């Protein structure tokens, strides 16, 4: 790719921060560091919206979820979903869509239009449970560009700039964030060739896992994903991903920063003790 030489002047504190990036192998010099930072900043503008699934009943977290939506369960004194907003705000993603259902009024009451959290929140409501893909069709008029999608019970300190850059470079319909775990047998495990996902193996027997990389419940989607979702209840994991994988349009982004699934009591307790917040 053709490059043009430029002379620029930067603040000393920015130079010091770039010094920490340069390791002589991955990033060799200031020129490459500046190019990467500019590329991340420009690519980040490709994604401005996040769609968050918060409509589930949280049955595995009962009895807590008899009286409170799972997304409002406290983690270190604040609702789980508020930590996710911290992440999105850090990367200047402030247009949020919440898919609500079970006790959705409680979520609306707490978060409102998002202004007190520095974001804009809109809501779509599941009258009946629509799974992990069906709710996207409720918001089809709001999803005209690339968007992030989150399972509402996930805590992740993922570099969204890197994720967005990855998605743009690979040009898939969906990019799935993948995180390594010691025991992947209880999750959806990715079978990969390079960055392309060929299949997710759900809860494989120990010793048969194709990798230790699991679906982290964080995605970047092109609007074309809506064409792959059947009407009614639909699951992104079983109704959408296999079609995309077969067509070579499903990619996996590997990250190793903090990640917690809070969907069980054991996982929730671990998150309370170990979650360090968004850096």
pLDDT band with cut points at 50, 70 and 90 for residue 16: low
The CATH label, of 3.40.50.2300, 1.20.120.450, 3.40.50.2000, 3.90.550.10, for the domain at 48-274 is 3.90.550.10
Q: Say whether pTM exceeds 0.85.
A: no
3-class DSSP assignment, residue 194: coil
203 is catalytic: yes
> Residue 38's pLDDT is what?
53
3-class DSSP assignment, residue 90: helix
> Residue 4's pLDDT is what?
64
Residues of the chain with CATH 3.90.550.10: 48-274
pLDDT, tens digit, 9 for 90 and up, residues 86-109: 999 999 999 999 999 888 899 999
Strands 74-75 and 78-79: antiparallel
Structure tokens at 108: 């609306």
> Residue 90's pLDDT is what?
93
Strands 154-156 and 174-180: unpaired
> Residue 23's pLDDT is what?
62
Question: Higher model confidence: residue 84 or residue 55?
Answer: 84
Cross-strand partners of 124? 99
Res. 1: pLDDT tops 50: no
Res. 24: pLDDT tops 90: no
Question: Higher model confidence: residue 252 or residue 76?
Answer: 252
Res. 153: pLDDT tops 60: yes
pLDDT band with cut points at 50, 70 and 90 for residue 207: confident
Contact 165, 189 (CB under 8 A): no
> Residue 35's pLDDT is what?
47
The predicted model gives 160-183 an average pLDDT of 93
Give yes or no for a cis peptide into 63 (omega within 30° of 0). Answer: yes
Average pLDDT, the chain: 85
> Residue 209's pLDDT is what?
83
Question: Higher model confidence: residue 38 or residue 258?
Answer: 258
Which one of 28, 120, 140, 203 is the catalytic residue?
Answer: 203
Taking alpha carbons only, the member of 74, 73, 113 closest to residue 94 is 113
Q: Could you tell me if residue 175 is left (phi over 0), alpha (psi between -120 and 50 degrees) or otherwise beta? A: beta
The answer to whether the Cα torsion of 274, 71, 268, 237 is positive or negative is negative
Integer CA distances (angstroms), 48 to 144, 234, 251, 259, 266, in order: 11, 25, 20, 22, 34
Residue 41 neighbours by CB under 8 Å, 6+ apart: 161
């Amino acid at each position: 790719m053709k490059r043009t030489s430029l002379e620029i002047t930067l603040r000393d504190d920015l130079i010091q921060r770039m010094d920490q990036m340069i390791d002589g192998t991955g990033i060799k010099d200031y020129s490459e560091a500046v190019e990467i930072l500019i590329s991340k900043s420009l690519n980040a503008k490709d994604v401005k919206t996040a769609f968050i699934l918060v409509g589930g009943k949280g049955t595995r977290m009962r009895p807590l979820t008899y009286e409170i939506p799972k997304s409002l369960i406290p983690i270190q004194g604040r609702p789980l979903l508020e930590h996710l907003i911290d992440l999105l705000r850090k990367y200047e993603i402030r247009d949020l869509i919440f898919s609500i259902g079970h006790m959705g009024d409680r979520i609306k009451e707490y978060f409102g239009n998002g202004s007190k959290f520095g974001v804009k929140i809109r809501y779509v409501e599941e009258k009946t449970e629509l799974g992990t893909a069906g709710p996207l069709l409720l918001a089809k008029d709001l999803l005209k560009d690339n968007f992030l999608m989150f399972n509402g019970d996930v805590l992740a300190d993922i570099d969204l700039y890197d994720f967005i850059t990855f998605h743009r470079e690979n040009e898939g319909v969906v990019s799935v964030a993948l995180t390594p775990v010691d025991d992947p047998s209880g999750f959806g495990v990715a079978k990969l060739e390079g960055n392309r996902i060929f299949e997710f193996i759900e809860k494989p027997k120990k010793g048969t896992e194709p990798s230790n990389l699991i679906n982290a419940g964080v995605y970047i989607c092109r609007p074309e994903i809506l064409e792959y979702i059947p009407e009614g209840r639909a699951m992104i994991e079983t109704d959408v991903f296999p079609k995309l994988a077969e067509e070579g349009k499903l990619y996996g982004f590997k990250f190793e920063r903090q990640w917690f699934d809070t969907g069980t009591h054991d996982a929730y307790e671990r998150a309370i003790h170990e979650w360090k917040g968004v850096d």
